[in-house]
Amino acid sequence: MPTNIVLDKLRRRRGLKCGVPAMMLAIPYLGVANILTILIDRGAPGWFHLLVLLCIWNAFKFLVMGPVSVVLLVRARAAERRERRLPSRSPAPTA
């Protein structure tokens, strides 16, 4: 849930610039997954496997969001450039 809130904020126009640096958030998730697998190997409860899957899933979400945010940012800037380039069309006066 918290990762989805962060990703929602990153998908907004204002947050698209932070998409690539947000990829760095995958590192702690992968680190936690690594520590959990070490604990599992040393005899920790089996339900830690679910936490490992959750950490890896969240890490992939952040890794994918980086390139996606770049594409969305380019698309948004192109749309803004088109809007600035086109003169505002006012309705023609009717007589």
Q: What is the pLDDT of residues 22-81, one digit of tens each?
A: 889 999 999 999 999 999 999 999 999 999 999 999 999 999 998 998 888 889 888 888
Q: Which helix (H) or strand (E) holds 49?
A: helix 48-85
pTM of the entire structure? 0.77
Are 81 and 72 in contact, with CB atoms under 8 Å apart?
no
Q: φ, ψ for residue 90 (rounded to 5)? A: -95, 150
Helix count and strand count (H, E) for the chain = 4, 0
Check if the beta carbon of residue 56 is closer than 8 Å to that of residue 29: yes
